[in-house]
Structures are given as structure tokens and as C-alpha cells.
Chains A and B, each alone.
Chain A
Amino acid sequence: DVKVTQSSRYLVKRTGEKVFLECVQDMDHENMFWYRQDPGLGLRLIYFSYDVKMKEKGDIPEGYSVSREKKERFSLILESASTNQTSMYLCASSPPGGNIQYFGAGTRLSVL
């Protein structure tokens, strides 16, 4: 059974803190994605990666960075958390070629 695991379901952080959201997939997928989901909006792509050590900006990369040192792990980093980064964060992975994406259960981050 395919599995994408996000390290935390709920997270509460303070403004200015550095925050790490971890995502691990066990399907040997090349592609990995970080989205955020806010009420009334579709999933918005923050960053994605097509291979180890590769990263591409999505639609809303400002205030975020990512790391992909190993194929199975894709980390999202909030360098200095702000209240407008309070959101649901979803990680996904897929094989190459625009195929189905497999999602983690999400991390609901609150920045106070």
C-alpha cells in the first residue's frame, strides 16, 4: 500500500520561529510536492521537486524553502513563521509524467 507520511498532524508555533515540516514517501517516486490549502481556495503549490537535490518554485514560494537530500524525503521550511502562514499543508508524491499524486494526511499549522 502506498504511503506518504507527514511528521505532524497538528503544529502550533510562534511568530518568528523556524518551522520544519517533514514528508516521507515509500514509493520511490521522483516527484514530490508541497501544497497549502486555505478555506475557499484550491490547493496552491508552494514548491516541488523532480529529483534529489532539485527544487522548483510553485505559485506561492515566498516565505518558504525546501530541502530534498534523499529521494524519499521532502522537507518544507518556514524560515521565520508568520501568522499568514497558518494553514493546512499537504505533501504529495507522484511518478514521472503527470500521473496520480499520492498525498499525506496533512499538517495543520497554527502560527500565533
Chain B
Amino acid sequence: ILNVEQSPQSLHVQEGDSTNFTCSFPSSNFYALHWYRWETAKSPEALFVMTLNGDEKKKGRISATLNTKEGYSYLYIKGSQPEDSATYLCAFTSDSNYQLIWGAGTKLIIKP
């Protein structure tokens, strides 16, 4: 059974601080790793899709790294702002099919 684990489950961060959280996934048959942001009352939106070991992607203050050999990805947020408050989801897909296997998410709350 393929499993995707995210930690921590929730996180309170002071505005202006930087933070990071983890997604662990099976290291065999890797195809892609997705990160999504899901704000309350909105649709989940894709942040990054990463496919190559060692990939680093950046979007403004948010960046992500990928290690396919050991099966983990980190998401970093630099200088957290209130608008960063959301649940961050990661999803793994193997090369056998394109279905996404989802983690339970990390709920990030930024305290002003």
C-alpha cells in the first residue's frame, strides 16, 4: 500500500518567521511529487510539481526541495505572512499510473 506522510499535522508560526514542513513518500517507482495549497473556503491550488531528484522550485517566498532516493520533500516558507495560512498538501504519483496519492496535509496558522 502506497502511503504519503506529512509532518507536522499542524503548525503555528509567528508572522515574519520562516518555517518548513515535510512530505515523505515511497522512493520506488517515483514519477512526480505535487505540492498544493488549500486556503479555507477556496479550492486547492497547485504550487509545484517536481519530478527530478534534487529539484528545487521557488515561487515568491515559498520553495520546495525533492529527494527521490530517500523519499522526502521539504516545503519552506520564508518570512511568513497571514495570507500563508492554509493547509499544504503533498501528493505522490508513481510511474505505473497517474493517480495521485495524497498526504493528510500540514495546517499552517500564521499568528500576527
Known: A40-B104, A43-B89. A98 touches B41 (CB 8 A): no
A100: Cβ under 8 A from any B Cβ: yes
Query: Are the CB atoms of B100 and A101 closer together than 8 Å?
Result: yes
Contact with A along B1-37 (1 / 0, CB 8 A): 0001000010000000000000000000001101000
- Which candidate, B43-51, B60-68, B71-79, is the interface stretch facing chain A? B43-51
One of B41, B43, B98 near A103 (C-beta < 8 A): B43
| Residue of A41, A45, A98 with most partner-chain B CB within 10 A | A98
Provide the main secondary structure of the chain A interface. Answer: loop
A61: Cβ under 8 A from any B Cβ: no
A111: Cβ under 8 A from any B Cβ: no
Q: Which residues of B contact A31 (CB under 8 A)?
A: 98
Q: How many residues of B contact A (CB 8 A)?
A: 23
Query: Are the CB atoms of B89 and A103 closer together than 8 Å?
Result: no
B110: Cβ under 8 A from any A Cβ: no
A76 to B32, CA, bound (A): 27
A105 to B41, CA, bound (A): 7
One of A35, A43, A45, A99 near B49 (C-beta < 8 A): A99
Query: Are the CB atoms of A98 and B42 closer together than 8 Å?
Result: no
B88: Cβ under 8 A from any A Cβ: no
Q: Which residues of A contact B31 (CB under 8 A)?
A: 98
Query: Are the CB atoms of A101 and B46 closer together than 8 Å?
Result: yes
Contact with B along A51-68 (1 / 0, CB 8 A): 000000010000000000
Query: Are the CB atoms of B98 and A97 closer together than 8 Å?
Result: yes
Could you list 13 A-B pairs, sorted by A, with CB under 8 Å?
A4-B43, A42-B103, A42-B105, A43-B100, A43-B102, A44-B102, A48-B99, A58-B99, A90-B44, A101-B34, A103-B45, A105-B42, A106-B43
On A, residues with C-beta under 8 Å from B are 4, 31, 35, 40-45, 48, 58, 90, 97-106
